[in-house]
Amino acid sequence: MTGGASTDQNFTRRAMRAELLDAETERQLATAWRDERCDKSLHRLISAYMRLAVSMASKFRRYGAPMSDLIQEASVGLLKAAEKFDPDRGVRFSTYASWWIKASIQDYVMRDWSMVRTGSTSSQKSLFFNLRRVRSKIERENGEATSGAAAHDLRVQISEEIGVPVRDVEMMEGRLAGSDFSLNATQATDEGREWIETLEDDAPKGAETVARDTELSAARGMIGDALGALTDREQLIIRRRKLEDEPSTLETLGGELGLSKERVRQLEAQAMKKMKARMVSTHGGRAEDLARMI
């Protein structure tokens, strides 16, 4: 047994022996990390859910990445989840963390798959992780050989099932077969056209930039209007807790305002409720998604 494999197994065993947290303990630890940046609480929370990270990492071993690297990326996702988790929303941390862990591992697998990146758009990710499963499903349903015209029909069915262009299916098939395309090679289905001509520019399009800036401007306007409905003290709490790059802790704000941490937390929750109600009542449906995010 190699040293690396032994280390992975030891780490996995330790992760599986970690404590199981009940909902209240989990909430207390997450709150202590969010409000007080308590490193001990973060360590205990992460350690308890490292078994989840290891379990999810093991599902991606078939892509050929070392298990140690998969676990490391899963740990990164777990830490991101802890940083962004809001214990006041009433969602269990494991449910929230699963999304971040999976996203982190998938990004790593796609970066590591080839010297030339497979792609990072949502359609490319969907193809990368679902192509083989969807192909097998369709082949079982069709019960036909997949050569010649049948192979082309299969690609069309796959593209419709996943919701991506047929040319993307063709390129991903080549990548998953283990061979990289030359970007200057011509496409089999489009004579004379090179693959490099199909690559999408990652830079934002002019229309996308304008739309994004318009949406940001509208969101700022709605938030500014909602802040205007708050008292001066509530505005101070929201600005310091939600709108600064380094949010103030409940303890710090409580000391400045002469209030307990719990009272500051209550005022913050009250102010957020007032803001959401103001946004929805003033701006209607277009503000509902934004109100759910804050």
Digit-coded pLDDT (tens) for 147-170: 455 777 888 888 888 777 777 777
Spatial contact of 269 and 88, defined as CB atoms under 8 Å apart: yes
- Decide: pTM greater than 0.75: no
3-state SS class at 230: coil
pLDDT classification of 45: cutoffs 50, 70, 90? very high
CA gap 263, 259 in Å, rounded? 6
Concatenate the DSSP letters of all residues of 99-154 into one string. HHHHHHHHHHHHHHS-SS----SHHHHHHHHHHHHHHHHHHHHH----STHHHHHH
The mean per-residue pLDDT over the stretch 1-12 comes to 61
How many other C-beta atoms are found inside a 10 Å radius of the C-beta of residue 37?
11
**E strands present in the chain:** 186-187, 190-194
CA separation for the pair 110, 131 (Å, rounded): 14
- Measured between alpha carbons, how far is residue 196 from residues 123, 175, 192, 201, 281 in Å? 18, 15, 12, 11, 50
What is the mean pLDDT of the segment spanning 111-140? 66
- For residue range 171-182, list pLDDT tens digits in order: 777 666 654 555
H or E, element range at 162: helix 149-162
Higher model confidence: residue 97 or residue 203? 97
Quote the CA–CA distance of 270 and 209 in Å, as a whole number.
35
Residue 277, Cβ neighbours under 10 Å: how many?
13
Go through the domains of the chain in sequence order and give each one's CATH number: 10-112 (1.20.120.1810), 122-198 (no CATH), 206-293 (1.10.10.10)
Q: Which tokens hold the place of 149? A: 């015209």
Asked whether residue 78 carries a pLDDT value surpassing 90, the answer given is yes
Give residue-wise pLDDT tens across range 232-265. Answer: 899 899 888 877 777 788 888 888 889 998 999 8
Mean pLDDT of 221-233: 83
